[in-house]
C-alpha cells in the first residue's frame, strides 16, 4: 500500500514542491487548505487530480483533529505558517497564532489521534537572527529579530518538547532561505526576478527595494524538500540545518539578475527606507554538515544558476501574459 502523507501549507512554495516529490516517491498525498473566497491553488493546479485536498485551519484545533482522523497519515509535514517577515511586524499576534501556536495545535492532534505519526516542522534560519556564530549549525543559540523569528523559535522548541515528553517522532528542519520560480512575489529574490523580466519586456520601469547589504544563504526549494523527507525516514528523530554554506548580498542578487538579461541595474533600482525592517538580520550562513553526513543530503544548484533559472521562468511567464 502507498504510504500516506499530509502536507499543511500545500498551496505554498514548499508545499507544491513537496507534493510533487512525494508523488514521485509513490506516496498518496493529502493537503490541508484553508477556506478562502478565492482559491489559492495556482502552484498545485497541475496536481489537482493526483492529490486530495481537505479544508482545515491552523487556528481551529478541532478541524485539525478531524483532518487527521479522516486521513490517518503516516507522515505529517507542517509547512503552513504566516511566513513573510515584514507582515509579522504588522500582525505579530496573528503571526504568533499561525506560526507558533499552530504548531502545537498540529502536535496535539498527532498526540491525540495517532502518536506514531512522523511529524516534520518547518523551522527557519530566522531563529538565529542576530547571529552568535558563523556559520550557524544545530548548536548555535537563537536570537530572533522579528515576531516571525520568535514564533518559529517557539515552534521549534515545542516540536523538540513533544519528542522528549511524548516520544513523538518529531523532526525540526532549520531551513535557510530557499527560493524558486514558485516563490511568492513579495520575497526579495522573486520580487527582483519578476521585476527584471518586466523591465526587460518593457512592462515596468523601476524596482523599489530596501536594504541591499543584507546577506542570505539562498538555496533551491526543489532540493530542500528532499531533505524534509529524508528526516522522516531516519531511525530516530532529530533536528537538522539545511543550507548551502554560501552567503550573498541582496545587491549581488540584483546585479546577477539584471546582468542575465544584459542590463545594468543602477538606472532602474531605487531605495525606499520604508522597506527597511524595525530590526534586520544582517547576515545568515548555514553549516549543513550534519545533514550531509546523516541524511546524505547536499545542495547542487549554484546561486547564479538558481537566479538565472528564476529570471528565465519569469521572462517566459511575463511574455506569455503580455501576449494574451
Ligand atoms: P509560503 O509560500 O508562504 O506558504 C505558506 C503556506 O501556509 C500557504 O499554503 C498558506 O496557505 C498556508 N497557511 C498560512 N496560514 C494558514 C492557516 N491559518 N491555516 C492553514 N494554512 C495556512 O511559505 P513557503 O516558502 O512554502 O515555506 C513553507 C514553510 O517553511 C513555512 O512555515 C515557512 O515559514 C517555512 N520556511 C520557509 C523558508 C523559505 O525560505 N521559503 C525558510 C525557512 C522556513 P494560503 O495559500 O491559503 O495562504
Ligand atoms: O528578505 C532584504 C530584507 O523577505 C531577504 C522567509 O521565507 O527566509 C525568508 O525571510 C532580505 C532581507 O526573506 C527588500 O531586508 C531588501 O534582509 O526575501 P526576504 P527573509 O526575510 O530572509 C526565511 C529563512 C524564512 O523563514 C521566511 O519565511 O532582503 N530586502 N529589499 C528586501 N526584502 C523584501 N522582501 N523586499 C524588498 O524590497
User: What CATH number corresponds to the domain at position 134?
Assistant: 3.40.50.720
| The predicted structure's pLDDT at residue 172 | 98
| The predicted structure's pLDDT at residue 93 | 98
- Nearest residue by C-alpha to atom 17 in ligand 2: 214
User: Does 294 map to a domain?
Assistant: no
pTM for this model (two decimals): 0.98
Cell, residue 234: 531516519
Same domain, 30 and 126: yes
pLDDT tens digit sequence for 149-177: 999 999 999 999 999 999 999 999 999 99
Sign of CA dihedral 129, 133, 134, 139: negative
User: Does 230 map to a domain?
Assistant: yes
Q: Is the CB of 12 under 6 A from ligand 1?
A: yes
Same domain, 33 and 146: yes
Q: Which residue matches cell numbers 538558481? A: 306
pLDDT at 125 over 90: yes
Cα of 188 from ligand 2 centre, angstroms: 6
| The predicted structure's pLDDT at residue 108 | 98
Q: Which residue matches cell numbers 517577515? A: 85
Q: How many domains does the chain have?
A: 2
Same domain, 153 and 212: no
Query: What does DSSP assign to residue 268?
Result: T
| The predicted structure's pLDDT at residue 51 | 98
Same domain, 106 and 209: no
Nearest-CA neighbor of 97 among 39, 36, 47, 34?
34
Cα of 81 from ligand 1 centre, angstroms: 4
Ligand nearest to the CA of 186: 2
pLDDT tens digit sequence for 198-210: 999 999 999 999 9
Mean pLDDT of 298-317: 98
Q: Is the CB of 54 under 6 A from ligand 1?
A: no
Any idea what the CATH number is for the domain that residue 311 is in? 3.90.25.10
Q: Please report, rounded to a whole number, the percentage of residues in the chain having pLDDT higher than 90.
A: 99
User: Does 295 map to a domain?
Assistant: no
Confidence of residue 40 (pLDDT cuts 50, 70, 90): confident
Provide the mean pLDDT of the chain: 98
User: Does 289 map to a domain?
Assistant: no
Q: How far apart are CA 252 and CA 230, in angstroms?
A: 32
Confidence of residue 229 (pLDDT cuts 50, 70, 90): very high
Helix (H, G, I), strand (E, B) or coil at 298: coil
- The DSSP bridge partners found for residue 154 are none
pLDDT at 16 over 90: yes
Same domain, 110 and 207: no
Same domain, 203 and 165: no
Alpha helices in 75-234 (DSSP H): 85-90, 92-95, 102-113, 147-166, 188-200, 221-232
Same domain, 163 and 265: no
Same domain, 64 and 190: no
Same domain, 65 and 195: no
**Range(s) of the domain holding residue 156:** 4-178+218-242
User: What are the backbone angles phi and psi of residue 40, rounded to the nearest 5°?
Assistant: -120, 45
pLDDT at 311 over 90: yes
Q: How far apart are CA 118 and CA 74, in angstroms?
A: 6
Contacts of 184 (CB under 8 A, 6+ apart): 12, 13, 84, 190
User: Does 290 map to a domain?
Assistant: no
Same domain, 64 and 128: yes
Same domain, 37 and 169: yes
pLDDT at 281 over 90: yes
| The predicted structure's pLDDT at residue 168 | 98
Ligand nearest to the CA of 209: 2
pLDDT tens digit sequence for 74-99: 999 999 999 999 999 999 999 999 99
Amino acid at each position: 500500500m502507498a504510504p500516506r502523507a499530509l502536507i499543511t501549507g500545500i498551496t505554498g512554495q514548499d508545499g507544491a514542491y513537496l507534493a510533487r516529490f512525494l508523488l514521485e516517491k509513490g506516496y498518496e498525498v493529502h493537503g490541508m487548505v484553508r477556506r478562502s473566497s478565492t482559491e489559492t491553488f495556482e502552484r498545485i493546479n497541475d496536481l489537482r487530480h493526483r492529490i486530495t485536498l481537505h479544508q482545515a485551519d491552523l487556528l481551529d484545533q478541532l478541524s485539525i483533529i478531524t483532518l487527521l482522523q479522516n486521513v490517518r497519515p503516516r507522515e505529517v509535514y507542517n509547512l503552513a505558517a504566516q511566513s513573510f517577515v515584514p507582515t509579522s511586524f504588522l500582525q505579530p499576534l496573528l503571526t504568533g497564532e499561525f506560526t507558533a501556536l499552530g504548531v502545537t495545535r498540529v502536535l496535539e492532534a498527532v498526540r491525540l489521534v495517532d502518536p506514531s505519526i512522523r511529524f516534520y516542522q518547518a523551522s527557519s534560519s530566522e531563529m538565529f537572527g542576530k547571529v552568535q556564530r558563523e556559520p550557524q549549525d544545530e548548536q548555535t543559540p537563537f536570537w530572533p529579530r522579528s515576531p516571525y523569528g520568535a514564533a518559529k523559535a517557539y515552534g521549534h522548541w515545542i516540536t523538540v518538547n513533544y519528542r522528549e515528553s511524548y516520544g513523538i517522532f518529531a523532526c525540526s528542519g532549520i531551513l535557510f532561505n530557499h527560493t524558486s520560480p514558485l516563490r511568492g512575489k513579495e520575497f526579495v529574490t522573486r520580487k527582483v526576478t519578476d521585476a527584471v523580466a518586466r523591465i526587460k519586456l518593457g512592462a515596468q520601469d523601476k524596482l523599489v527595494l530596501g536594504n541591499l547589504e543584507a546577506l542570505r544563504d539562498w538555496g533551491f526549494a526543489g532540493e530542500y524538500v528532499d531533505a524534509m523527507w529524508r528526516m522522516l525516514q531516519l531511525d530516530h528523530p532529530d533536528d537538522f540545518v539545511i543550507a548551502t554554506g554560501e552567503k550573498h548580498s541582496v545587491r549581488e542578487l540584483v546585479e546577477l539578475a539584471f546582468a542575465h538579461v544584459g542590463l545594468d541595474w543602477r538606472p532602474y533600482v531605487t531605495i525606499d527606507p520604508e522597506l527597511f525592517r524595525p530590526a534586520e538580520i544582517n547576515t545568515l550562513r548555514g553549516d549543513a554538515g550534519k545533514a550531509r553526513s546523516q541524511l546524505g543530503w547536499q545542495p547542487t544548484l549554484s546561486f547564479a544558476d538558481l537566479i538565472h533559472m528564476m529570471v528565465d521562468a519569469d521572462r517566459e511567464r511575463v511574455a506569455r501574459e503580455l501576449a494574451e
